[in-house]
Structure 1
């Protein structure tokens, strides 16, 4: 069976991702969620011409050197001046208060001289100065935040200003994880002579958490076909949106996952990808569940999750794919093989701008080098190698 190109594999996965479904959440629960419908302003903000500072509102044409105006009232936030400003009059005004009818400018209190009910100004008036026009922030019908935006505190703030108590956001998937392998033990377990600490599910849970409604870890299953069948059947019974297994994705004597998945009704689209690290990647579906079988080597598991699962989850949420970075190299890259190489690299910041320093370590079990990486350089198939200063494409590792 030939190796499937990375782009074809990703396209096949994205074709299986369901359309975005929405749910309403309160503003207090909206942080980090992705808008399923655009936020549209239902009123003008400010809803009236408002003062931008504490001072006095008047007609600009009435202000002159040594000219006294009569103070006829006060306008403050929440309690507007009920009358209008006529020739020779002024109104004491506070920040955020409605500018009275007839007034067309505001002068700050530090530039005013007040004596009883009269006021004059030590600066000339400027028409419209310190007045926030009605609808200056946003106007009725204006789109404030587009669909597909991940909500940050700034977007939640403008939603509150737009009087939106709830927002329509994309429903997040329920994700289940399972690790396989006789050699694996949980972190914190005293190690036997043939044992390895399981890290995949912990790294994947942390990576996928921003996209998930829930993440359930089914733990470690040994290389026993009956135990594996039972544990996978239990996982499918919960009807997860996404099931991710690690280990057993190849075709060795102890790589049982593929056979059991097929036995349990999973329709596999593919299981070998033309990439490194991470060639033995499986993908298929069972009903509405997307099934990913990742390699057991921890770097391979994390890289394939970054390259394939994260884009699938972004599509699930209606969130746009991130732009690929194009940055110069801070060191040369070696020639590549026939498989696309996702090369670990550090992002360096210097006087000449950001650059990528390739990490020479390529072992798919070398977790410390991945922990020290900021980016994955996407080295094309049969690339002859690039010299320092060459511009290459890369994916950020720690990005939503």
Structure 2
């Protein structure tokens, strides 16, 4: 049966319109919130810093005193350290020895770094040109009271946790985790721990790969094993998965072959097939079904195709389902260091590496081609997109490059 494949963005938009967001929430300590999805706008409870303080180690002075008499030797009357403020007023012709993070005492408006000063006993002379307010962090420089710290729908990272703590927030309300069941289908598959492998059987790579790919703190994954190529078995397994989770991800059985039962199994459980085949390579035999508020992703059996579809379609939709707002993966425009020919009418996603050579940066293709060649993923820096309308790529042409997570900081 001929089916016109759906563009990736069209499929994504069609599904975003139909999926229901997670709305159950829970309050947790901020130290447990890494990779959780924030469910409300969080504001700072304080000015940060709450007092003006020194940005460097040096001497605090009143600027106009030195401006009118640059050679004046100032009397050092005390020391201010972080956590140990100097609580007396600094008068004209006086200075305070001050260290980074220390509250600036009354009477000073400028801090001069140690290396730009000459200290002799209890006197200090400024040896450099200075400007008023230099090296002083004003109240609220980082955050002002009631300024937004974290927006609703953001996936919390380590920097967010630091900012939340600094702004007086000790707990956060987040969306409850999305539960995802993962299965593989195919008579040819055996677990990688199996000691026996019959002729024609292969180890199941997709399930452990997908479980690892989905290893995020806003998700809870459930490994429900391998299903044989029987329509009834697959339908029963889908029912089991749906009883335990919000999302089901299966791989294999999504083409039009006689033994590929995905569409029929979706019908048997009452699910509506929203997407059937994508206009992309690898990843064309991809199906997505909906049953009430639950979603079933049916990935191709080839590991590279399953990986690419998971990164470009499933992950953004799961983020949306989990309450997140930043759906699209980071892409960078980089020049091609290769030539390539393709068919018009489908986008291609090729494994690639970033090369820095002779002060130039470009991308080259990595590994052997083919949707089943999983070795092309290992060692790659990311995926390069060749748009649908392209017939060929020439060297130097700017293309979208999607870096893998493990190649970032």
Q: Report the TM-score when normalising by structure 1.
A: 0.86
Residues 145/353 of structure 1: CA separation in 2 closer, same or farther (3 Å cut) = farther
For 2:5, the equivalent position in structure 1 comes to: 4
Residue 312 of structure 2, aligned match among 299, 307, 311:
307
- Shift, 1:74, TM fit: 4.9
Residues 126/387 of structure 1: CA separation in 2 closer, same or farther (3 Å cut) = closer
Deviations 1:172-212, CA, capped at 9 Å, x for gaps: 42111011111100113232112011111111112222364
Distance 1:388 1:70 in 2: 66
Corresponding position: 1:85 with 2:90: yes
Residue 119 of structure 1, aligned match among 123, 145, 167:
123
8 Å CA contact 2:351–2:382 kept in 1: the answer is: yes
8 Å CA contact 1:31–1:153 kept in 2: the answer is: yes
Distance 1:372 1:85 in 2: 61
Distance 1:44 1:281 in 2: 51
- Shift, 1:366, TM fit: 1.8
Deviations 1:26-63, CA, capped at 9 Å, x for gaps: 22122233444344222212212223345544433445
Say which SS state the counterpart of residue 28 (structure 1) adopts: helix
Alignment RMSD: 2.9
- Shift, 1:276, TM fit: 2.4
Residue 46 of structure 1, aligned match among 37, 43, 49:
49
Say which SS state the counterpart of residue 3 (structure 1) adopts: coil
After TM superposition, the runs of 4+ consecutive aligned structure 1 residues lying more than 6 A away are none
Corresponding position: 1:160 with 2:161: no
For structure 2, the 5+ residue unaligned runs are none
8 Å CA contact 1:70–1:88 kept in 2: the answer is: no
Residues 133/198 of structure 1: CA separation in 2 closer, same or farther (3 Å cut) = same
Say which SS state the counterpart of residue 183 (structure 2) adopts: strand
For 1:386, the equivalent position in structure 2 comes to: 393
Residue 18 of structure 1, aligned match among 20, 24, 41:
20
Residue 31 of structure 1, aligned match among 21, 30, 34:
34
Distance 2:390 2:92 in 1: 79
For 2:293, the equivalent position in structure 1 comes to: 288
For 1:319, the equivalent position in structure 2 comes to: 326
Residue 338 of structure 2, aligned match among 331, 340, 361:
331
Residues 60/291 of structure 1: CA separation in 2 closer, same or farther (3 Å cut) = same
Paired residues for 1:261-272 under 5 Å:
261-272=266-277
For 1:203, the equivalent position in structure 2 comes to: 209
Residue 137 of structure 1, aligned match among 126, 135, 142:
142
Distance 1:122 1:331 in 2: 59
Residues 361/50 of structure 1: CA separation in 2 closer, same or farther (3 Å cut) = closer
Residues 312/113 of structure 1: CA separation in 2 closer, same or farther (3 Å cut) = same
- Shift, 1:107, TM fit: 4.4
Distance 1:201 1:192 in 2: 20
Residues 69/182 of structure 1: CA separation in 2 closer, same or farther (3 Å cut) = same
8 Å CA contact 2:6–2:275 kept in 1: the answer is: no
For 1:188, the equivalent position in structure 2 comes to: 193
8 Å CA contact 2:89–2:107 kept in 1: the answer is: yes
- Shift, 1:218, TM fit: 0.3
Q: Report the TM-score when normalising by structure 2.
A: 0.85
Deviations 1:126-160, CA, capped at 9 Å, x for gaps: 53343322222322233344445443333322222
- Shift, 1:380, TM fit: 3.4
- Shift, 1:324, TM fit: 3.4
Corresponding position: 1:245 with 2:250: yes
Q: Which sits farther off after the overlay, 9-18 or 141-150?
A: 141-150
Corresponding position: 1:97 with 2:102: yes
How many residues are paired up?
396
Residues 304/211 of structure 1: CA separation in 2 closer, same or farther (3 Å cut) = farther
